[in-house]
């Protein structure tokens, strides 16, 4: 089985300001046991900023992007060196891959990253993955390692994604503020009610809290990957989760997973615009599995070019899905509501009858 293990800053520091080396040894032991049993492990490791801060002796720096990038640039080397040393004790090699959203949104770069990851795995090397924080500005960032790990799980063609953190799982409310909150053991559907339960990070160490873990789980399970959120401090937690033990919060995969290109549409390009659809278009897309025609679009928001990803909104405003457009925003504005036969008349040229082809469309539901 290919397993992606995402280790949050909260796990790697144990809530302190420093990397918890003793615990990292224990996590490496667990991963090595899995490799020995014939599984393949990919580690998505946070902790670069924490390691940088530790090396500099906790300087009092502004919390702005340039200083975070500086800390990540300093800390990433430290972090990987440490992992390399610890995995080396078990005779395992590691291979570092630093990714950003820009590596995932272009289909060719996405496939290149997938090849490298596959080659590392086929040679028994442990891929160590983090966001390339030193160069990633907000525009090109995935932004948090929960969402990054879901994309990595898709790239690695993993069966299981473990989001290991400082809580035993997803609770009915943030247990730090609500002592009565209860652990949710199993999630079958991720809806707006569930999203409301999942709060942000309050420790000052992590990024995104449970909110980003839920987003990550939603992306991974649509690709047919099971996801568990659990405590990174549980005894033998990695091996027990791989063995299928009921620990933490488990999200079962969607049974009819998206095909590869659609997984990329969901995981790669960020939507840069929004199309408001009319009722007829919603019925055609949802009930008949049709492509989206310009005549079913009632409004266009944002500036996008041909090939960009856009979000599709139902008349009541809820997000129906994501798709890659065949016309730019300016072109679509000129043919909004126009019947397919009249497109070339309105534009002076014709890129085909559909605004978004069915093959370039992912419906969320
Ligand atoms: N419903 C919830 N259940 C559990 N934890 C929650 C919930 N809502 C918010 N949290 C917070 O999410 C935090 C874990 O996320 P985060 O700080 O980003 O850690 P990590 O570094 O592991 O990604 C917990 O410490 C907790 O305070
Ligand atoms: N890339 C950053 C961590 C980003 C992140 O998502 O952190 P976390 O929520 O602790 O998994 C780092 O290495 O410090």
Residue 59, domain extent:
2-263
ipTM value:
0.98
Per-residue pLDDT tens listing for the chain (365 residues): 999 999 999 999 999 999 999 999 999 999 999 999 999 999 999 999 999 999 999 888 888 999 999 999 999 999 999 999 999 999 999 999 999 999 998 889 999 999 999 999 999 999 999 999 999 888 788 999 999 999 999 999 999 999 999 999 999 999 999 999 999 999 998 888 999 999 998 888 888 999 999 999 999 999 999 999 999 999 999 999 999 999 999 999 988 888 888 999 988 888 999 999 999 999 999 999 999 999 999 999 999 999 999 999 999 999 999 999 999 999 999 998 888 888 888 888 888 889 999 999 999 87
Asked if 114 and 251 sit in the same domain, the reply is yes
Which atom, in ligand 1's list, is nearest to the CA of 169? Answer: 4
pTM value surpassing 0.95: no
Query: What is the spatial distance between Cα 42 and Cα 127, in angstroms, rounded to a whole number?
Result: 5
Asked if 241 and 122 sit in the same domain, the reply is yes
Query: What is the spatial distance between Cα 110 and Cα 103, in angstroms, rounded to a whole number?
Result: 6
Which atom, in ligand 2's list, is nearest to the CA of 131? Answer: 1
- Probe ligand 2: pick from 145, 148, 201, 206, max atoms within 8 Å of CB? 145
Query: What is the spatial distance between Cα 3 and Cα 162, in angstroms, rounded to a whole number?
Result: 7
Asked if 227 and 276 sit in the same domain, the reply is no
The CB of 173 under 6 Å from ligand 1? The reply is: yes
Asked if 177 and 40 sit in the same domain, the reply is yes
Tell me 259's DSSP state: P
Among 198, 228, 263, the domain-final residue is: 263
Long-range CB pairs of 242-250, under 8 A, 24+ apart, other chains included: 242/1, 242/3, 242/34, 242/39, 242/160, 246/185, 247/168, 247/169, 248/168, 248/169, 248/183, 248/185, 249/169, 249/170, 249/183, 249/184, 249/185, 249/186, 249/187, 250/185, 250/186, 250/187, 250/226
User: Looking at residue 227, which CATH number applies to its domain?
Assistant: 3.40.1160.10
Asked if 76 and 105 sit in the same domain, the reply is yes
* C-alpha to C-alpha distances, 304 to 32, 66, 148, 313, 316, nearest whole angstrom: 46, 29, 24, 16, 23
Domains in the chain: how many in total? 2
- Which residue matches tokens 């989001």? 163
Asked if 296 and 151 sit in the same domain, the reply is no
Residue 346, CA atoms < 13 Å, CB-side half-sphere = 19
Contacts of residue 158, defined as CB under 8 A and 6 or more positions apart, other chains included, come to: 2, 3, 4, 42, 152, 225
- Probe ligand 2: pick from 51, 79, 207, 215, max atoms within 8 Å of CB? 207
Query: What is the spatial distance between Cα 357 and Cα 220, in angstroms, rounded to a whole number?
Result: 23
Asked if 211 and 244 sit in the same domain, the reply is yes
Which atom, in ligand 1's list, is nearest to the CA of 177? Answer: 27
pLDDT, residue 93, reads 98
Asked if 15 and 90 sit in the same domain, the reply is yes
- Probe ligand 1: pick from 166, 204, 215, max atoms within 8 Å of CB? 166
Helices (H), the chain: 9-13, 21-36, 48-55, 65-88, 101-105, 107-122, 145-155, 192-197, 209-222, 237-242, 260-267, 279-288, 329-334, 343-347
The CB of 132 under 6 Å from ligand 1? The reply is: no
pLDDT, residue 61, reads 83
pLDDT, residue 248, reads 98
- Packing angle, helices 65-88 and 21-36, rounded to 10: 50
Among 241, 263, 285, the domain-final residue is: 263
Query: Nearest-5° angle of CA 172, CA 223, CA 234?
Result: 45
Asked if 222 and 353 sit in the same domain, the reply is no
* C-alpha to C-alpha distances, 281 to 45, 319, 355, nearest whole angstrom: 43, 14, 11
The CA R_g of the chain, rounded to the nearest whole Å, is 22
pLDDT, residue 250, reads 98
Contacts of residue 259, defined as CB under 8 A and 6 or more positions apart, other chains included, come to: none
Detail the residues annotated as belonging to a binding site for substrate.
46, 133, 145
pLDDT, residue 185, reads 98
pLDDT, residue 257, reads 86
Asked if 197 and 323 sit in the same domain, the reply is no
Asked if 210 and 323 sit in the same domain, the reply is no
The CB of 257 under 6 Å from ligand 1? The reply is: no
pLDDT, residue 164, reads 98
Among 213, 230, 263, the domain-final residue is: 263
Query: What is the spatial distance between Cα 87 and Cα 260, in angstroms, rounded to a whole number?
Result: 32
Which atom, in ligand 1's list, is nearest to the CA of 144? Answer: 23
Asked if 235 and 330 sit in the same domain, the reply is no
User: Looking at residue 351, which CATH number applies to its domain?
Assistant: 2.30.130.10
Nearest CA to ligand 2 atom 11: 8
């Amino acid at each position: 089985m290919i397993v992606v293990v995402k280790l949050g800053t909260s796990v790697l520091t144990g809530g302190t300001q420093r990397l918890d080396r003793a615990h990292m040894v224990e996590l490496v032991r667990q991963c090595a046991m899995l490799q020995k049993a014939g599984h393949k492990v990919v580690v998505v490791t946070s902790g670069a900023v924490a390691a940088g801060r530790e090396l500099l002796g906790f300087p009092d720096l502004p919390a702005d992007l340039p200083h975070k990038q500086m800390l990540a640039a300093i800390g990433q080397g430290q972090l990987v060196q440490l992992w390399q040393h610890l995995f080396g004790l078990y005779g395992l090699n590691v291979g570092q891959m630093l990714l950003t959203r820009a590596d995932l949104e272009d289909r060719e770069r996405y496939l290149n990253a997938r090849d490298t990851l596959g080659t590392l795995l086929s040679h028994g090397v442990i891929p160590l993955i983090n966001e390339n924080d030193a160069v990633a500005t907000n525009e090109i960032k995935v932004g948090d390692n929960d969402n990054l790990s879901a994309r990595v799980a898709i790239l690695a063609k993993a069966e299981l994604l473990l989001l290991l953190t400082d809580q035993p799982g997803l609770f009915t409310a943030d247990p730090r503020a609500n002592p009565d909150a209860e652990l949710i053991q199993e999630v079958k559907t991720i809806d707006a009610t569930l999203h409301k339960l999942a709060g942000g990070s309050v420790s000052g160490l992590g990024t995104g809290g449970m909110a980003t873990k839920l987003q990550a789980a939603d992306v991974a399970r649509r690709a047919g990957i099971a996801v568990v959120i659990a405590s990174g401090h549980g005894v033998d937690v990695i091996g027990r989760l791989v063995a299928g033990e009921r620990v933490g919060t488990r999200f079962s995969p969607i049974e009819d997973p998206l095909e590869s290109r659609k997984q990329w549409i969901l995981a790669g390009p960020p939507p840069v615009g929004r199309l408001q659809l009319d009722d007829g278009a919603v019925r055609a897309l949802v009930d008949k599995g049709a492509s989206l025609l310009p005549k079913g679009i009632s409004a266009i928001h944002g500036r996008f070019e041909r090939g960009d990803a856009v979000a599709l909104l139902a008349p009541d405003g809820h997000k129906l899905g994501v798709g890659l457009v065949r016309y730019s925003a300016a072109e679509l504005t000129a043919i909004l509501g126009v019947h397919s036969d009249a497109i070339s008349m309105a534009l002076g040229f014709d890129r085909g009858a559909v605004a978004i082809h069915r093959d370039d469309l992912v419906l969320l539901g």
